[in-house]
Structure 1
């Protein structure tokens, strides 16, 4: 894509309106904005919008998509058959993405929806593995039932000794034996609640994957995708780390880097407006503003390498005299792009992308590239849907175009039998017990019939309450009431202890119910038939839907999160 600076647009002087997305609450319901049956028309509208872009944009799209299909087919073919996937290079592309982690079923639903929409529209389905995000701890929280008290609690099960802190594509598995036995450990913990978790089938693929690549994120993503193949899903995958190593990505990145002062100003202004609209005080959310240090401007990219895998921000300085763009992490890595407006500039940047100069896009830029260049329809999760509304504001002002719209979706799937375990009277019981405990301290007369409190004290309290003096002369009366209450409270110490014991037991039951009914459990602890049947019910429209969620209207295209799509 050649440079002429993008046309300037008028900046809004007030925060735009943003749409909120809420996770569905009931099992077997989903949030899909717009509705699933509108996906085909949305894709068609996006195609028309993208087709109207200038010729240099369309040339970049053709080049990028051709390389994307080839790279995704090569990558996917290393662990599952691709057969006819991506065979029609003229087919529309539907895309989604997430980190290579063991996420909850609401996130996994997006992969099934990706396959469903691609089949319905004759599109090629591609999932982006966001392996440039920093990996979390190498463990998952698994619910289990205590043998002693029967209450539900969480137990952490680790698949490696490493603690994360570097991008997923850099997280080598350090304890292979623990990784190989992870499924056994999960089954043992969850067995009191789930007899047949799908971790066993999933981890069969994970052990094969880790032997190929050695990295935890790679192994988990490939295992999930190979398992999806077993389930009949026809999708391709490609990691961000592979996607960024291409000439088309270098061209797109340079379109931002060589016009960075203007991008910088738009990015920060739009982010400030987003915070103002949402009442966000933290400067770190939804994304930090890009910084400036003298002639150096921070860019929305990361740099790292195999020898120093910690992510560092990208900084750019333009040497006007030498017509050279300096791209650096201001630590160990520096690349100089001569004549950055020339056709050869992208070749220079691409040539610099070695194992020690891993240039990766940050979240908002990742979806800019995915939505403007690579795909005709992008599927976000709730977090991505919230934050990519900010991305839309930046895109529309920097590139002077109308961004294609996206879909937002998530589902709620509870463990089998979880809904039957709900006991609404527990919360009522907790409130009653709290009131009774307070009564033992300040209204001991309420326990007169139990015989636990002296009748003389009850009579004294009643006499005081029947003869309340006027305001201003109540001090002596108040002291008498306080003394009687303290005496009754002392006599009710055993009653209060028993009520506190009952309160603690009720709280444990409430916590057990909350854990059991949570929608955040890792998908690998569920029976696969339960998950697939639930997803198919949602996708076919046969499940009961939360109408207040299904009827949310599309917002015109927006959003993504720093961590996940």
Structure 2
């Protein structure tokens, strides 16, 4: 396994704010410390293997400098993913490295669905803070056609963006997607839209000029391009010769690695014993859906139809594509899912041949800023209290304003207690008490409706709390100064100041 670069550094809490509704980037994680990043980039960058030189050349990546790499599925990501890209940019500039970003285009993701905070007008004109969605049918991927602008629609016609920055961000997202309706596929369309939005809305090198691309510091490429490399073909041939060795090594790595968060599933053989492999098969026709790959399918797959799944992709890229790979909280760290990849490649290829580039971790979260809603939310305790009051109001006439009913209930309770809850007299008293309570409720429907309304209101305000406290909105919805602050802090963490 690749040794850890260094002990993790503590997260940085950014920005002072009076309440949780105030706009700010509030948490930045960069692990390990900058010195370990520099050491990793200088360590392997000076002795590239022939395998790495060929692989990088086939992907269009430079081979004259060390490479720091990251990536994600195409989309307008939350600040944590954006922070990875900014981290790659900062590290590249700081240590004269090349930055690379892999667009995971072989996955099928619902990137068209863009969540945003919205204000909806409900019954009696009452405004509610809700989670709106701009969406379109289908997935984003290499084998999905680009989306026409007419297919994009708001999820709730009665909801409007909660702030000016959200409204502007949604318009920017839609415009960036529309301008790429002629892209070769949906993945390239969404990736291009993200690049444009990053260039003009995150305080980067292109922001001042309004150009429509991110800095040349980071080279973007599609993950499906890996399938056309000699290294990938060689690993497929190795699977063809001994699929069971690959699958067994993979499953052993899964079994022996503790992973937090999203778990890694084992490869499951078919009933006939054919080993499942960490690949997707996707037909050459546009619109083809991906399918799992088993050992007996390797010989029949057409050129370019076999694509790497997640761990296979990161393993190949860390094997020969970079000196340092930047993950988020899920993949990085001592219990990130890519620790499985390290063990798998070691078990499968051997400790030396399967040695992977080390991993760093970058992530961030940010409050969008909805202070006007801060006093219009409820906690779980508030909801529980409202539910308690509604429940007890059904059994306590006094809570419904019926003093006589409360006295009668007390009398019947004492009678039941005196009879020790046994016999027909006790049963009659018990029935009489509940009949009396039902009668009180029927006569006090207004009061009961008030308690019911308290529960509904508390639950609605609790839902608003989730929206106010959400810290992972698409980055284009945030104020530009927030993204600029994030970039500046990352530069500081890399020692650029």
Q: TM bucket by the smaller chain?
A: 0.7 to 0.9
Q: CA deviation at 1:245?
A: 1.5
Q: CA deviation at 1:366?
A: 0.4
Q: CA deviation at 1:397?
A: 1.8
TM-score (normalizing by structure 2): 0.77
Give the count of matched residue pairs: 451
Q: Could you say which residue in structure 2 is the equivalent of 1:491?
A: 443
Summarize the Cα distance change of 1:438–1:185 in structure 2 as closer, same or farther, 3 Å threshold: closer
Q: CA deviation at 1:200?
A: 4.2
User: Within 5 Å, which residues of 2 pair with 1:88-99?
Assistant: 89-99=63-73
Q: CA deviation at 1:132?
A: 0.3
Q: Contact 1:97/1:127 (CA < 8 Å) preserved in 2?
A: yes
Matched, 1:376 2:376: no
Q: Could you say which residue in structure 2 is the equivalent of 1:163?
A: 138
Q: Contact 1:28/1:534 (CA < 8 Å) preserved in 2?
A: yes
SS of match in other structure, 2:168: coil
Q: Contact 1:144/1:192 (CA < 8 Å) preserved in 2?
A: yes
Deviations 1:500-525 (A, max 9, x none): 12321232222123223312332333
Q: Could you say which residue in structure 1 is the equivalent of 2:483?
A: 531
Summarize the Cα distance change of 1:440–1:202 in structure 2 as closer, same or farther, 3 Å threshold: closer
**CA–CA separation in structure 2 for the residues paired with 1:153 and 1:478:** 45
Q: Contact 1:186/1:525 (CA < 8 Å) preserved in 2?
A: no
Matched, 1:457 2:428: no
Q: Could you say which residue in structure 2 is the equivalent of 1:250?
A: 233
SS of match in other structure, 1:171: coil
Q: Could you say which residue in structure 1 is the equivalent of 2:17?
A: none
**CA–CA separation in structure 1 for the residues paired with 2:358 and 2:405:** 72
Summarize the Cα distance change of 1:194–1:488 in structure 2 as closer, same or farther, 3 Å threshold: same
Summarize the Cα distance change of 1:174–1:426 in structure 2 as closer, same or farther, 3 Å threshold: closer
Give the alignment partner of residue 29 of structure 1, picking from 26, 29, 33: 26
Summarize the Cα distance change of 1:208–1:188 in structure 2 as closer, same or farther, 3 Å threshold: farther
**CA–CA separation in structure 2 for the residues paired with 1:99 and 1:106:** 13
Q: Could you say which residue in structure 1 is the equivalent of 2:314?
A: 367
Q: CA deviation at 1:237?
A: 0.4
RMSD (Å) for aligned C-alpha atoms? 3.9
Q: CA deviation at 1:246?
A: 2.0
Q: Contact 1:190/1:525 (CA < 8 Å) preserved in 2?
A: no
Summarize the Cα distance change of 1:60–1:43 in structure 2 as closer, same or farther, 3 Å threshold: farther
Summarize the Cα distance change of 1:381–1:416 in structure 2 as closer, same or farther, 3 Å threshold: same
Q: Could you say which residue in structure 2 is the equivalent of 1:78?
A: none
Q: Contact 2:250/2:344 (CA < 8 Å) preserved in 1?
A: yes
SS of match in other structure, 1:390: helix
Q: Could you say which residue in structure 2 is the equivalent of 1:387?
A: 337
SS of match in other structure, 2:466: helix
**CA–CA separation in structure 1 for the residues paired with 2:132 and 2:12:** 25
Q: CA deviation at 1:370?
A: 1.2
Q: Could you say which residue in structure 1 is the equivalent of 2:55?
A: 64
Q: Contact 2:144/2:185 (CA < 8 Å) preserved in 1?
A: yes
Q: Could you say which residue in structure 2 is the equivalent of 1:217?
A: 187
SS of match in other structure, 2:58: helix
Give the alignment partner of residue 349 of structure 2, picking from 387, 399, 415: 399
Summarize the Cα distance change of 1:517–1:424 in structure 2 as closer, same or farther, 3 Å threshold: same
Q: CA deviation at 1:425?
A: 5.4
Summarize the Cα distance change of 1:296–1:439 in structure 2 as closer, same or farther, 3 Å threshold: closer
Summarize the Cα distance change of 1:411–1:313 in structure 2 as closer, same or farther, 3 Å threshold: same
Q: Contact 1:142/1:189 (CA < 8 Å) preserved in 2?
A: no
**CA–CA separation in structure 1 for the residues paired with 2:358 and 2:79:** 25
**CA–CA separation in structure 1 for the residues paired with 2:392 and 2:157:** 46
TM-score (normalizing by structure 1): 0.69
Q: Contact 1:414/1:519 (CA < 8 Å) preserved in 2?
A: yes
**CA–CA separation in structure 2 for the residues paired with 1:96 and 1:251:** 23
Summarize the Cα distance change of 1:469–1:541 in structure 2 as closer, same or farther, 3 Å threshold: farther
Q: Could you say which residue in structure 2 is the equivalent of 1:13?
A: none
Q: Could you say which residue in structure 1 is the equivalent of 2:39?
A: 44
Deviations 1:216-261 (A, max 9, x none): 2201102222443443243110001223212233234434443422
**CA–CA separation in structure 2 for the residues paired with 1:31 and 1:192:** 25
Q: Could you say which residue in structure 2 is the equivalent of 1:311?
A: 290
Q: Contact 1:380/1:406 (CA < 8 Å) preserved in 2?
A: yes
Summarize the Cα distance change of 1:400–1:149 in structure 2 as closer, same or farther, 3 Å threshold: same
**CA–CA separation in structure 1 for the residues paired with 2:194 and 2:158:** 21
Could you list the runs of 5+ residues in structure 1 that have no partner in the other structure? 1-8, 10-18, 73-85, 318-325, 329-333, 336-351, 543-565
Q: CA deviation at 1:368?
A: 0.5
Q: Contact 2:176/2:193 (CA < 8 Å) preserved in 1?
A: yes
Summarize the Cα distance change of 1:410–1:422 in structure 2 as closer, same or farther, 3 Å threshold: farther
Summarize the Cα distance change of 1:529–1:42 in structure 2 as closer, same or farther, 3 Å threshold: closer
Q: Contact 2:181/2:189 (CA < 8 Å) preserved in 1?
A: yes
Deviations 1:110-168 (A, max 9, x none): 2112212222232211000000001327433333212432112233323x5x423xx70
**CA–CA separation in structure 2 for the residues paired with 1:187 and 1:48:** 55
**CA–CA separation in structure 1 for the residues paired with 2:459 and 2:367:** 21
Of 479-488 and 496-505, more deviation after overlay is shown by 479-488
Q: CA deviation at 1:495?
A: 0.6
